[in-house]
Amino acid sequence: MDSNNVIHWKHMREYDHKNGIRFERKLQVNDSLIRRLGLEKELEGHSGCVNCLEWNQRGSLLASGSDDQQIMIWDPFRHKLLHSLQSGHQGNIFSVKFIPKTDDNMVCSGAADCRVRVHDITGSETTLVCCCHLGRVKRLAVAPNVPHLFWSAAEDGLVLQFDLREKHRCSSVSNNVLINLMDYNGPNAEVKCIAINPIRSELIAVGANDAFVRLYDRRMISLQSIQNRVDRRYSWESQYGTASDDNHESPDNLPSGCVKYFIAGHLLRRRDRKRYRAYASTYLSFSADGNELLTNLGSEQIYLFDVLKPSKPKYYEMTNSTHRNGYHKECTSSNGYCVNGCQSTDFIPKTAQFYKKLYAFSSPLPQIIDKIKGKANDNFEKSDFKLAINLYNTAIALCPRAAVLYGNRAMAYMRRNWDGDTYAALRDCYTALAIDGHYLKAHFRLVRCLLSLEWYREASDCFENFKTKFPEQSNTESSVSLNRDIQKAINTKTDKSSHLSTDGNGYDITYNMSNAVNSQEKEWRSLSYDYKKRFCGHCNTTTDIKEANFFGSDGQYIIAGSDDGSFFVWNKETTNIMRVMRGDDSIVNCLQPHPSSCLLATSGIDQVVRLWSPRPENGLKDDREVENSEDAAMANQKRMNTDPLELMLANMGYRVPNLFESEDSDTDQMGLQCRTN
């Protein structure tokens, strides 16, 4: 029976009172409601871009902050403006939060004027003004179970902690510095976003102007004092110099075990190449149970990290060679090599339990899975790699222990070739081989992935292992061609693992580093954890406040805004796009789901706040729905890698050849690599 069936859950509720809670959680947001999601109301009142939205804990109030420097408090159900606060800020407001346990009477705000303010809504007065930051304040964070504390993140590289029980005075020394990224990343470090784990409030996630997400345990961190001067960055250089000094001690308030780093594995080892934009985390969000962390990475994709059971990035190493990588083996397959961070298949969705058991004892795929695979293969042959990947995603969610599905999806990823697709294909090859160590095509595609990632020595080692394991394939046309490509790459290009600055383990830990990064930071980066899932289709390059959030009581959907004026809804389990809606005339930045209802608030460049809810089932077409979501996703992938000048000309109406046209034509691929199973 459909797990979203209302009658089923009403029936179950009669047998067990616990099912009442499950009933409410299961049906808050489901596939049917997502398909009916439409515009309910536009809240008008601001005279500038709306940069931040925040629900109170009960969901009865919605706060918004804007370029007009006003904070507005709305009744979202009566669509009524309740309060309009003159914030006192002299710059764009980037963040507003309700302070817990104040009966929703206090809010804090951060803005481009480098100020943090606390406001009494009823009294229409400002009770705290902090000018300790020297950069734009981009995000504030609160914890529901910690009523007196809140935190601020700013582009001066600092995270400050405020305790409302203490009187705050701004002076030449700031005494409430929790994290100072300049101590580790140098004077150009910026903090872009922060989030507090809702269940374990001691965990604070920090996003900066790089590709790393940092997860700190603040129980291990003591507040430090630093000078509060306009020339703070220059003072840093005078203290440490412009180059890294590995001999100076790390600041005392961040012990080595207080933080975990997360990054998409391909970015950790990425060779420097021409990019039009730098990476930066624009938003962080924890799942309701605190077990997962979502980041919207500017100029890349959206990544989901597992906080409880993180996995290491993938690498290749022969089992009979010396462990130069420095990491412990997390699993060893019968395929003749070890894989670090092998994708776990222990977590199986409930809908897949039957197929997991069935496939464990039978070689053929279950009929329904085989039918989906057949459709995916057909779309692959038609070069519709986007749809093929969607179908493989669906099949894998139902039957997660079928090696052939991972092997086929890997090939589709390689042919689609969006940002991060090659590494995603590498992960799939490893998973396929962990399930079936004698899967020939997965071996071959693994070599291709390593070569495409420019990990040439590893590609060569893997190919030698392939020839040993499958000697009958050594002299085939595809194998000879692959070997020729590897040798040419090794001879004509610098080997990434050998010649980039690494930590001795083959990891390019200097990625996106200035020469001011200290040794402790290098160690933390070298121990980074990989992502669990990724979500593709949106574009995040133009603004640095673009959000991504969980939607639904169990976080079963992912939502994010986009530079094309749309917002996207993904199924978290399959990572497939479910809906794309036109949410702004220019850019959608903010998406905040209601805490207990299927209600979504969005904002962007337009001067309104939009509320979205399920519309009546009257058969009418929604004019705001983007019909071809896959074409929109393809255009956004091209947009992310487009010269900003060309993009500006296109937005002005000039025709830029091939800017957003599809590139689904076949490339010259050989034998084993091309054909799916």
Taking only the tens place, the pLDDT of each residue in 497-532 is: 444 444 444 444 444 445 578 999 999 999 999 999
- Tell me, what DSSP letter sits at residue 379? H
Sheet with strand 106-111: strands edge to edge = 93-98, 106-111, 116-120, 125-130
pLDDT level of residue 239 (50, 70, 90 thresholds): low
Res. 235: pLDDT tops 60: no
Is 168's pLDDT higher than 70? yes
Pick from 467, 419, 451: nearest CA to 275:
419
Mean residue pLDDT across the chain: 86
Determine the Cα–Cα distance for residues 387 and 434; give it in Å rounded to an integer.
26
Check if the beta carbon of residue 342 is closer than 8 Å to that of residue 327. Answer: no
Kindly calculate the radius of gyration of the chain based on its CA atoms and give it in whole angstroms. Answer: 26
CA–CA distance, 151 with 135 (Å, rounded to integer): 15
3-state secondary structure 220-236: HCCCEEEECCCCHHHHH
Read off the pTM.
Answer: 0.88
Q: Quick one: pLDDT at residue 408? A: 98
Give the residue-averaged pLDDT of 95-107.
98
More confident residue, 440 or 677: 440
pLDDT of res. 517? 87
Relative orientation angle of helices 421-435 and 440-452, to the nearest 10 degrees? 150
pLDDT tens digits, residue range 327-376?
A: 333 433 334 444 444 444 433 344 455 454 444 434 689 999 999 999 99
How high is the pLDDT of residue 344? 41
CA 72/CA 85 separation, integer angstroms: 6
Question: Is the pLDDT at 600 greater than 70, yes or no?
Answer: yes
DSSP letter for 218, please.
G
**What mean pLDDT do residues 169-181 have?**
94
Mean pLDDT on 235-261: 64
Q: How far apart are CA 40 and CA 567, in angstroms?
A: 15
Which tokens sit at 206?
Answer: 């920090």
- The lowest-confidence range among 69-73, 266-270, 337-341, 379-383 is 337-341
Show the tokens assigned to 612.
Answer: 């979205």
Tell me which amino acid residue 514 is: S
Among residues 142, 68, 66, which one has the least CA distance to residue 99?
A: 142
Exposure string for 185-208, b = 16+ CB within 10 A, e = fewer: bbbebbbbbbbbbbbbbebbbbbb
Give the model confidence (pLDDT) of 406-450 as tens digits.
999 999 999 999 999 999 999 999 999 999 999 999 999 999 999
Write down the pLDDT at residue 582: 99
- Whether 550 shows a pLDDT value over 90: the answer reads yes
Residue at 401: amino acid letter: R
Question: Phi and psi of 107, rounded to 5°?
Answer: -130, 150
Which tens digit of pLDDT belongs to each residue from 641-655? Answer: 887 666 666 656 666
Residue 609: name the closest of 96, 22, 89, 234 by CA.
96
pLDDT, tens only, 183-213: 999 999 999 999 999 999 999 999 999 999 9
Q: What is the pLDDT of residue 495?
A: 46
Q: What angle do CA 403, 409, 413 make, to 5 degrees?
A: 145
Q: Is residue 305 within 8 Å of 532, Cβ to Cβ? A: yes
Q: What is the pLDDT of residue 330?
A: 40
Contact present, 451 and 489 (Cβ < 8 Å)? yes
Per-residue confidence (pLDDT) for residue 8, from 0 to 100:
74
* Helix axis angle, 456-469 to 477-492, nearest 10°: 150
Kindly list the distances between the CA atom of residue 312 and the CA atoms of 52, 82, 184, 508, 649, in Å, as whole numbers in the listed order: 34, 49, 22, 15, 42
- Cβ distance 508 to 270 under 8 Å? yes
Determine the longest span between alpha carbons in the chain, in angstroms: 82
Q: Which residues pair with 81 in a beta bridge?
A: 74
The mean per-residue pLDDT over the stretch 76-84 comes to 98
Extract the tokens encoding 601: 């608030």
What is the share, in percent, of the chain residues with pLDDT greater than 70?
A: 78
**Domain boundaries defined on the chain:** 1-35, 36-312+521-614, 316-506, 630-662
- Alpha helices by DSSP H, listed for 286-366, are 353-361
**Residue 493: its pLDDT value, please?**
73
Q: Where are the alpha helices (DSSP H) in 453-554?
A: 456-469, 477-492, 496-499, 519-526
Q: What are phi and psi of 560, to 5 degrees?
A: -160, 150
> CATH second-level architecture of 316-506?
Alpha Horseshoe (1.25)
Task: Copy the structure tokens of residue 399.
Answer: 């039957």
Sign of CA dihedral 373, 378, 379, 383: positive
In this prediction, residues 165-188 reach a mean pLDDT of: 94
For the domain spanning 36-312+521-614, the CATH number is 2.130.10.10
Instruction: Single out the residue of 465, 471, 473 nearest to residue 673, CA to CA.
Output: 473
The pLDDT value given to residue 170: 94
The helix/strand/coil state of 8 is helix
> In the structure encoding, which two tokens stand for residue 420, read together?
């991060």
Count of C-beta atoms within a 10 Å radius of residue 275:
11
Q: What is the pLDDT of residue 663?
A: 42
Q: Are 491 and 511 in contact (CB under 8 A)?
A: no
The one-letter amino acid code at 101 reads K
Does the pLDDT value for residue 39 go beyond 70? yes
Centre a 10 Å sphere on the Cβ of residue 264 and count the other Cβ atoms it contains. Answer: 26
pLDDT at 101 over 50: yes
pLDDT(468) > 80: yes
Mean pLDDT, residues 561-579: 99
In this prediction, residues 143-158 reach a mean pLDDT of 97
| Residue found under tokens 């989901």 | 304
Q: Given CA atoms 114, 120, 126, 130 in this order, what sign does their dihedral have? A: negative
Residue 13 has pLDDT above 90, yes or no: no
pLDDT tens digits for range 282-323:
999 999 999 999 999 999 999 999 999 999 999 887 654 433
**Dist CA 489 CA 480 (whole Å):** 14
Strand partners, 591: 602
